[in-house]
A and B are shown apart, each in its own frame.
Chain A
Amino acid sequence: MLMMVSSAMAQEAARDQRALTHSQIEWPSTTDVWEVATLRNYNTRLVVLSTSLLGIAAGLVGSFLLLRKRSLMGDALSHATLPGIGIAFAVMVAAGGTGKSLPGLLIGATISGVLGLLVMLAIRNTTRLRDDVAMGLVLSVFFGAGVAVLGVVQSIPEASAAGLERFIYGKTASVIKTDFYLISGVAAIIVIFSVVLRKEFTLLCFDEGFASSQGWPVLALDVALLGLVTAVTVIGLQTVGLILIIAFLITPPTAARFWTHSLPKMIILSALFGGMSGWLGASISALLARMPAGAVIVLVAGTVFLVSMIFAPERGVLPRWLRHRNLRREVNRQHLLRGAYEILEHEARSSGSDGSVINLPFSRSALLSKRTWSSRELGRILSTERAMGHIEHLDHAMLRLSEAGFGKAARITRNHRLWELYLVTHADIAPSHVDRDADMVEHVLEADLVRQLEEELRARDSWTPVPESPHEIPSPSAG
């Protein structure tokens, strides 16, 4: 065991040496990549597995922390662990040890983290200061105290405090077997707690007041949640470091939220993203000398977030923009066809014949005056409709609907008028049923109601009769 550690340290020292002699980053060879990817190296295996487990735990707990809108509280908490690390070191040295025992240091971190949390809650509950002020105060004062304490303990002559700074940025290479067991064990406990308390945490995050009125111990649940956050922070100190652990807690759930509206799915995705970021981040950091694991992990998680924000089908920026654009185009095309139909309807009426609408040519300028679109906009819509075979250009001024286009125009006009009437006459139940996108009203409303609306529309206004439906209205039994 000891040999293993010392050989790993020797390797690392050699790598640092090389990285120092070459001024630029040293890229790993394919064999190195293969060795890390397949977890051949014992030390790499410990680091990668423990960081992945940490990522899964962080993703789970982070989901609730995010939904509870307490993300920054996690940040203050992690910064508040630093003085505890220094004091624990000093205490252990005073007791005659080397001061380097990880469990001892983590206990110190936990105590000062919890202390920071209590101060934060005390400020919030007893003064009128706002949450962000309380968090900012605790974060900066505790971190400052921590830096000062580290400075003091490093000047203790008989103890070597070198390496304590690794808790600030994290250093995966320092994980040994006992650390691995500690980190994995705590991560497993965190996962179990988050899953078991899922229902209770959900209620707490969604509606604290209702939860409290139902007799749920809101304060205890909050403490439990923050306790889990503390646990993630503490076991993440060594590999990710206290500055960046907050990103590990909030980036995976934020990314997951873009993909789904369902909480169980979001939590699972968040755990996956966290685990993946931990795995990839630790692997990459093992390959690139002088690249702190915490930073690489956060960069990987940040990439996952960026991809999710842009491309996630449910809430991503790009799909939403595309959906909006498609809707706008669809609405424009419907306006075009209805405009054309209304021109033909007007002509049929003024020609004095029996009033039935015939598919005649009409002028582009008549269409242009139908709505407030510019000539260029109209041209763009016309060209897509022509490509779809709904409209034909006779020459540069005259247009005509194709057979298919005429049928569609009649249908759109009819649906539009029926919906309008429905909204007016059934205002009490209408809004939840209106679906103007539905190609046929009959798919949404009862056939009887549609017939009734049609009759009403015919009787009501002789100037806007409802066009004959190109389809038979399907009877409910047939549909």
Chain B
Amino acid sequence: MAPSGDAAGEDLSYHSDTAPLAVHDLTVAYHRKPVLWDIDLDIPEGKLVGIVGPNGAGKSTLIKACLDLIPKTSGEVGIYGKPYRQQRHLVGYVPQRESVDWDFPVSALDVVAMGTYRQLGWFRRVGAKQKQAAMEALKQVGIEHLAQRQISQLSGGQQQRIFLARALVQNAQLYFMDEPFAAVDAATEQAIVKLLQSLNGEGKTCLVVHHDLATVTQYFDWVVLLNMRVVAAGPVAEVFTQENLHKTYGGQLGLLNDAAKALSYVTR
């Protein structure tokens, strides 16, 4: 299961051939307007990484570009040294909760079982084995009692946990999570934090798009400050500084207060 890029060794264009994620010279543009500009990023193994930045900074775009969901204008992304399409089995993806219609006629268990579809392959049905795996994942996020519930009858936090469970069922090495903390209740927030820590304990790497600056130091050990470009990336203690936050959030007055609040945590 442990990936090794050195054995393959043929693709040397990536920064690092063992890093879970190596982004090199990535530029993404929508309709000629660049959203991400010359991104260079190396994420080391086994870190909990927060991706923070103002609205429109390209946080979701970065994740989507890594997962080939949107076309890259230029640049390369390596997942354990290879292109994503060869490494899908190592990656779990948690999209934003708002990206789907929650009035869809499926149960919580059905959604989690979708995490097993790739392994199942074409035409094969979800069987007892897949249901069991989905149930285990639901247990990990603490809502196994809601397995048969139709998804529209769940709270926002519970829906978010289902998305997490769907990624867990894939048993990946590297997780991309797009705003899992957005608009969830306190109980869910704690459950997600616990889950992140347990994934971290198993040596897995998690990239989490995050909005709440006040909790960055508490939840993550690495941080990427993003605003169209990478302002800073590294261990929280080193790069989550007043100066860097000003560079990231600079023009946005409303957010300076948040940043100030966050800094009081850092300096404390």
Task: Write the residues of chain A forming the contact surface with B, with a CB cutoff of 8 angstroms.
Answer: 67, 69, 128, 196-197, 199-200, 202-203, 205-207, 209-210, 212-216, 257, 260-263, 266, 427-432
Contact = CB atoms under 8 A, between A and B. Distances in A.
A209 B185 contact: no
Contacts of A69: 101
B100 A262 contact: no
B117 A214 contact: yes
8 contacts: A199-B124, A199-B126, A200-B123, A206-B100, A209-B93, A209-B99, A210-B93, A213-B67
B70 to A, nearest CB: 10
Given A215-B88, A431-B155, A205 B118 contact: no
A260 B143 contact: no
A262 B150 CA distance: 8
A151 B72 CA distance: 49
B114 interface: yes
Contact of A432 (B110, B126, B146, B152): B146
Contacts of A430: 187
Nearest to A209: B95
A120 to B, nearest CB: 20
Given A203-B114, A214-B88, A431-B185, A196 B105 contact: no
B256 interface: no
Contact of B114 (A128, A207, A266): A207
Interface in B145-195: 145-146, 150, 152, 155, 158, 166, 185-187, 190
B69 A428 contact: no
B187 A429 contact: yes
Contacts of B101: 69, 206
B125 interface: yes
Nearest to A63: B105
Given A206-B100, A209-B95, A432-B158, A263 B110 contact: yes
Given A200-B122, A214-B118, A128 B100 contact: no
Interface of B: 31, 64, 67-69, 85, 88, 91, 93, 95, 99-101, 104-107, 110-111, 114, 117-118, 120, 122-126, 143, 145-146, 150, 152, 155, 158, 166, 185-187, 190
Given A199-B120, A210-B114, 14 more contacts: A199-B126, A200-B122, A205-B104, A207-B100, A209-B95, A213-B91, A214-B93, A214-B117, A214-B118, A261-B107, A261-B150, A262-B106, A427-B187, A432-B145
A206 B111 contact: yes
Contact of B31 (A128, A197, A202, A261): A128
Contact of A206 (B91, B104, B155): B104
In terms of DSSP, what is the predominant structure of the interface of chain B? mixed
B69 A207 contact: no
B179 to A, nearest CB: 13
B187 A431 contact: yes
A67 B118 contact: no
A431 B99 CA distance: 25
A200 B114 CA distance: 10
Contacts of B104: 67, 205-206, 263
A263 B152 CA distance: 13
Contact of B85 (A209, A215, A266): A215
A216 B122 CA distance: 9
B95 A210 contact: yes
A199 B95 contact: no
Contacts of A214: 88, 93, 117-118
A203 B117 contact: yes
Contacts of B107: 261-262
B117 A199 contact: yes
Contacts of B85: 215
Contact of B105 (A200, A210, A260): A260
Contact of B69 (A203, A213, A262): A213
A37 B35 CA distance: 64
Contact of A196 (B64, B114, B123): B123
Contacts of A200: 117, 122-123
B62 to A, nearest CB: 14
Given A212-B69, A214-B118, A266 B105 contact: yes
Given A205-B104, A207-B99, A213-B67, A428 B31 contact: no
Given A262-B105, A427-B187, A428-B190, A215 B122 contact: no
Nearest to A198: B125
A266 B105 CA distance: 8
A333 to B, nearest CB: 25
A427 B190 CA distance: 12
Contacts of B166: 210
A215 B118 contact: yes
A205 B111 CA distance: 12
